[in-house]
């Protein structure tokens, strides 16, 4: 939902009204230049959740996945981030978990209401795994 909602490109400015919680969003407009089946939001999310849910994911795959995901013009859904944080736990990598939270906050750009929503959705996971948010560690201030 948030992917279409928080498109950071110019076309996203028009859909700013969709940032209210609980709104259903239009289908993703993934523009493959050459016809082909368009991937829906849910398919995209499922693909990424699957990626991070791999039981024996290795550190390189985690890094590659996160860097690629951050490269997209969207803020990842909480369920993708949940899978990524659990992958960090399997890899015993707390620093990456905190970094992921910082990265999505930065990715939200001027839309200040996205990050609190994400933290709200991820709160059970974050508490369960014992991850502290950057705010709790005082790392969001200089």
Partner 1 sequence: MLTSRALVRGLKSGFWRPLSSTSSVQAAHGKDMSPDVLDPSVPQYNNRLDTPLSDVPFVRNLNSEQRQLKEKEKGPWTKLTKEEKIALYRLTHELTYPEMRRGSSEWKTVLGGVFIFLGFSGMLVWWQRIFVFGEVPHTLSDEWVEKQTQRMIDMRINPIGGFAYHWDYVKKQWK
Distance CA 129, CA 18 (A): 31
Select from 9-17, 18-26, 49-57, 98-106 the region that touches partner 1 (CB under 8 A).
98-106
| The binder of partner 1 chosen from 11, 38, 50, 67 (CB under 8 A) | 67
Question: Which residues lie closer than 8 Å to 122 by C-beta, 6 or more apart?
Answer: 78, 81, 82, 85
**CA nearest neighbour of 78 among 2, 7, 22, 5:** 2
Query: Taking CB under 8 A as the rule, does residue 22 contact partner 1?
Result: no
Spell out the residues 6+ positions from residue 63 whose beta carbon is closer than 8 angstroms to its own.
Answer: 96
* CB of 27 closer than 8 Å to CB of 41: yes
Decide: 77 and 25 in contact? Cβ < 8 Å: no
Site stretch for partner 1 (CB under 8 A), options 18-26, 31-39, 114-122, 124-132: 124-132
Q: Which is nearer to partner 1, 28 or 133 (CB)?
A: 133
Query: Is 58 a binder of partner 1 (CB under 8 A)?
Result: no
Q: Is 114 in the site for partner 1 (CB under 8 A)?
A: no
Beta carbon nearer to partner 1, 27 or 139: 139
Residues that bind partner 1 (CB under 8 A): 62-63, 66-67, 70-71, 89, 92-96, 98-100, 102-103, 105-106, 129-132, 134, 136-142
């Amino acid at each position: 939902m948030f992917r279409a909602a928080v498109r950071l490109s110019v076309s996203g400015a028009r859909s700013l009204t969709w940032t209210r919680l609980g709104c259903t969003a239009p289908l993703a407009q993934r523009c493959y230049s050459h016809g082909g089946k368009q991937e829906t939001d849910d398919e995209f999310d499922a693909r990424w959740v699957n990626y991070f849910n791999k039981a024996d994911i290795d550190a390189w795959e985690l890094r590659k996945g996160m860097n690629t995901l951050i490269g997209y013009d969207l803020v990842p859904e909480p369920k993708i981030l949940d899978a990524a944080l659990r992958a960090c736990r399997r890899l015993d990598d707390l620093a990456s978990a905190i970094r992921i939270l910082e990265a999505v906050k930065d990715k939200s750009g001027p839309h200040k209401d996205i990050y609190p929503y994400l933290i709200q959705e991820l709160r059970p996971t974050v508490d369960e795994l014992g991850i502290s948010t950057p705010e709790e560690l005082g790392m969001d201030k200089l």
